[in-house]
Amino acid sequence: MDMILDIATWVLLLAGSVLLLITGFGLLRLPDLYTRIHAGGMADTLATFLIFVGLSFQSGFSLVSVKLLLVIVFIFFTSPTASYALAQASFVAGLKPKLDGFGARERAKEDA
Amino acid sequence: MSFGFFNYWVFIILLMIGLYTVMSRSNLVKKMIGLSLFQISVFLFYISMGKISGGTAPIVVDGPLDTAAPIYSNPLPHVLILTAIVVGIATTALGLSLVVRIRESFGTIDEEEILEMKDGA
Amino acid sequence: MMIYAITAIAILISIALALTRAIMGPTSYDRILSANAIGTKTVLLIGVMGFLAGRPDFLDLALVYALVNFIGTLAVLKYFKFGTLRGTLSKPADNS
Amino acid sequence: MLLLIAGTMSVLFVRNLFVATMLLGIVSFTMALIFISLDAVDVAFTEAAVGAGISTVLYIGTLALVGSQEKDKPKFAAGPMVICLVVGAVLYYATYEMPRFGEPNNPVHTHVAPRYVNDSPTEIGVPNMVTSVLASYRGYDTFGETTVIFAAGIGVLLILRQRRRRKNEDDETDVPLDKGKTGQSGSLSGLGSQHDLVPHVIAKLLIPFIFVFALYVQYHGDYGPGGGFQEGEIFAAGIILYALVFSLDYARSVVSEKAILFLISAGVLLYGGVGIASMMLGGNFLDYNVLASDPVAGQHLGILLVELGVGITVTAAMLAIFYAFVGRADLIAAKAEQEEN
C-alpha cells in the first residue's frame, strides 16, 4: 500500500514539475501577453493540483491533508480569476493580441 | 566554507542597493521603496543570525521526532523581526502619506524640483 | 525523499524564468502576470519545502499566500482598469 | 538568493514606479521563501501577509495619488555610489569577524535564547516559542510595538484627513462626509461594469474563508505559526478585498471609520488593561502568572488576550491607513468637481 502511494506521489509530483517547467518556458518564450496568460494561468493551476494531491498522498488523512485540499480549492478559484481579470484589464486598456497566424492571413485575404 | 558567509554578503549587497536608492533617486516614492529594501536586508541579517544548521523551526513538536532532542533555531530574532515587519509597514504608510501631502502642496514628488521651487520663492 | 528535492528544483527554475520575464517584460501586464505566477509558485514551494523539512504543519503559510496574493493582483488590476484608483491621471505608461 | 539579488537590482533600474512596486512584491515573495528555509516560519508568515497584500495595495494607493512616472533623468550619482561602496566594503570586511553562519555556539545563541527555548514549554505551556517570547517574555517590547502601530495609524489619519475637516469648517455646502448614501460613485466604486462579475462572485466566495482563516491564525497561534500581528494583516486584507471588489463605501458600511478609531484604541487598551489587571492581582505589569489559579493557565489566558489586543489594533490600523489613502482620492476628486462647478 505504501509502495503504491509512493509511486503515485512520484508520478504526480514529476508531472507537476514538468508542467511547471513548461509554464516557466511558456512565460519566457511565448510571443505576446495573451499567450503568456494562457501559459501562466492554466498550466500553473493544473501543476498546483497535481503537486498538492501528490503531497497529500504522503501526509495521510490529517489536518495537513485538509489544509492541502483547502489550498487546492483556493488556488482553483483565485488563479483563473486573476488570469481573467488580467486579460480583461489589458484588453480594455487596448492591448491587441498578436495575430500573425490565422487571423492575419484572413485579413490579408480580405484586403486583397 | 566561504558559504558560511554567503548570507551576510547577500545582506550587504541588498543594503547597498537600498542605500543607493535612497540617496541617489530624487523621487520620493522611489526613496520609500529603497527604504523598504534597506529594511528587508536588515530582516535578512537578523534571521540568518538566528539560524542554527540542522535546527528546526522553534515550535515544540509533541510527536516523537527522529532525533532525540530536536535543535530549535533561536526564536528571539524571529520575534524582533516579526514585529519589525509590521511596524515597518506602518511607518512606510506614514511616509507614503507624507509623500501624498507633499504632492498636494507642491504639485510634484521630486525632491530636486521642490528644492528649486523653494529657492525661487 | 528525493522527489521533493526534484520538485523544489523544478519550481525554483520556473520562478527564475518567471522572474526573467518580470524583469524583461515589455508591458506592465507582463510583470503583473509574472508576479502572480511567482506567487502561485511560492505557494507550491512552501508546500514542498514543508515536506522536505519533514514538518508539514506549516501549510498555513501556503494558505495565506493563496488568499492574499489574489488580493494584491486584484488591487493592481483595479488600478489599471480605472486609470488610477480614482481616474484623475492619464493612462499609466506601459514601458519602463 | 541570487533571485533576490536580481530582483532587487531590477527594482533599482526600473524607472516606472509602478513596475518597481510589482518587483518589490516579487522580492517580498522570495524573501518569505528564504525566511522559511531559515526556519523562521512566523516571520515568513508575517512577510507573506504583509508583502503580498497590504504593502502592494499601499504603494498602489500612493501611486494613484501621485502619478507613476519617475522624472526622466538617467543620471549616475557618483557621490552616493562611493558612499555605498565604502559602506559595503566596511561591512564586507566586518563579516570576517562575524561568527560562522549556522553554528550552534554563536554568541547570539548563548545569551538568553537557551532559557527561552528550554523553559518556555514548562513555564508558558505554549508550543510555539515565538508566541511565548513575543507575548510573555518580551511583553513590554510588543506593547511598545503595538503602540507604534497605533501611533502610525493615527498619524496617517491625521495627515491625510486634515483638509477635509478644515473644508467642512470653511463652508457648509461641502461634500457630505459619507458619500455612499448619496449614491456618489467613489474611487473604487466604478463597480458598475459588468466585466467585474467574475471577481465579484469569487470574492464573495472567498471573503468568509479569509475571515475564518484569520481567526484560526489568531487562536491557533499558540500551537502553530501565527498570532495577533498576522491575524490583523489577514483580516484587514479581507476587508480590503471587499473594498476593492465592491467599493469603499460598501466597506465603510461594514466597518465605519468611527468604529476603526474605536478599535485602534481598544486594542492597545486591551493590551495595557491586561497588564494593569495583572498588577491589580498582585503581579508585575504584564505578568500573566496571576491571572488564573495556576501560572501556566494564567500565561495562556494572558497571551490569548494580549494577542487579541494586538490583532485588533493591527487590523484597525491597517484599515485606517487603507481608508485614508483611498478616501483621499475621493476627496481630491470632490474638490476638483467643486472647482469645476
In a domain, C8, yes or no: yes
Q: Among A14-18, A86-90, D252-256, which is the least confidently predicted range?
A: D252-256
Contact D108 B74 (CB under 8 A): yes
In a domain, C88, yes or no: no
Contact D40 B55 (CB under 8 A): no
A40 phi and psi angles, rounded to 5 deg: -70, -40
Site from C55, C59, C84, C89 to mutate, B interface, most B CB atoms within 10 angstroms: C55
Confidence grade of residue B44 (pLDDT, cut at 50, 70, 90): confident
Contact D49 C38 (CB under 8 A): no
Contact C61 D57 (CB under 8 A): no
Q: Total structural domains in chain A?
A: 1
Mean per-residue pLDDT over chain C, rounded: 70
Q: Total structural domains in chain C?
A: 1
In a domain, C41, yes or no: yes
Q: Which domain holds residue B118?
A: 28-51+73-121
Query: Which residues on D lie below 8 Å from B84 (Cβ)?
Result: 145
How many angstroms separate the CA of residue C54 from the nearest CA in chain B? 10
Flag residues of chain D having pLDDT under 70. Answer: 1-20, 66-77, 80, 95-130, 132-136, 161-196, 221-226, 247-249, 251, 282-296, 329-341
Contact A17 C27 (CB under 8 A): no
In sequence order, the 6+-apart residues with CB closer than 8 A to the CB of D315 are: D231, D232, D235, D236, D239, D263, D267
Q: Which domain holds residue C30?
A: 2-82
Q: Give residue D330's pLDDT.
A: 67
What are the tens digits of pLDDT across the range B51-96? Answer: 766 666 666 655 444 444 566 667 777 778 888 888 888 888 888 8
Q: Which domain holds residue A9?
A: 2-111
Give the chain C residue nearest D11 (alpha carbons): C23
Q: What percent of chain C has pLDDT over 70?
A: 73
In a domain, B21, yes or no: no
Chains that touch D (3 or more CB pairs under 8 A): A, B, C
Site from D18, D60, D71, D328 to mutate, B interface, most B CB atoms within 10 angstroms: D71
In a domain, B97, yes or no: yes
In a domain, C13, yes or no: yes
Contact C44 A13 (CB under 8 A): no
Encode chain D in three state secondary structure: CHHHHHHHHHHHHCCEHHHHHHHHHHHHHHHHHHHHHCCCHHHHHHHHHHHHHHHHHHHHHHHHHHCCECCCCCCCCHHHHHHHHHHHHHHHHHHCCCCCCCCCCCHHHHCCHHHHHHHHHHHCCCCEHHHHHHHHHCHHHHHHHHHHHHHHHHHHHHHHHHHHHHHHHHCCCCCCCCHHHHCCCCCCCCCCCHHHHHHHHHHHHHHHHHHHHHHHHHHHCCCCCCCHHHHHHHHHHHHHHHHHHCCHHHHHHHCCHHHHHHHHHHHHHHHHHHHHHHHHCCCCCCCHHHCCCCHHHHHHHHHHHHHHHHHHHHHHHHHHHHHHHHHHHHHHHHHHHHHHC
Scanning B47-66 for CB atoms below 8 A from D yields 47-60, 62
The span from the CA of D45 to the CA of C65, in Å, is 9
pLDDT greater at residue D188 or residue B29: B29
The span from the CA of B105 to the CA of B23, in Å, is 23
Q: Is ipTM over 0.90?
A: no
CATH code of the domain covering residue C10? 1.10.287
Q: Which of A13, A27, A58 is nearest residue C37 as measured by Cβ atoms?
A: A27
Contact A27, C33 (CB under 8 A): yes
Contact D34, B45 (CB under 8 A): no
In a domain, C46, yes or no: yes
Size of interface C-D (CB pairs under 8 A): 168
Q: Give residue A9's pLDDT.
A: 79
Per-residue pLDDT of chain C in tens (96 residues, 90 and over written 9): 677 778 878 887 887 777 777 777 677 777 778 888 888 888 888 888 777 776 666 777 777 777 777 777 777 777 666 654 433 333 333 333
Chains that touch A (3 or more CB pairs under 8 A): C, D
Site from D195, D196, D212 to mutate, A interface, most A CB atoms within 10 angstroms: D195
D172 phi and psi angles, rounded to 5 deg: -85, -15
Task: Return the CA Rg of chain D.
Answer: 23
Q: Give residue C65's pLDDT.
A: 78
What the block records as the C-alpha cell of D89 is: 566594503
User: Measured between CB atoms, does A17 come within 8 Å of chain D?
Assistant: no
Q: Give residue D181's pLDDT.
A: 34
Q: Total structural domains in chain B?
A: 1
Contact C72 D33 (CB under 8 A): no
For residue B73, give the H/E element and its range.
none
What letter does residue A43 receive in the DSSP assignment?
Answer: I
Scanning D206-235 for CB atoms below 8 A from C yields 206, 209-210, 213, 217, 220, 224-226, 230, 234
The span from the CA of D37 to the CA of C5, in Å, is 13
User: What are the sequence ranges of the domains in chain D?
Assistant: 1-69, 128-159+188-341
How many angstroms separate the CA of residue D292 from the nearest CA in chain C? 30
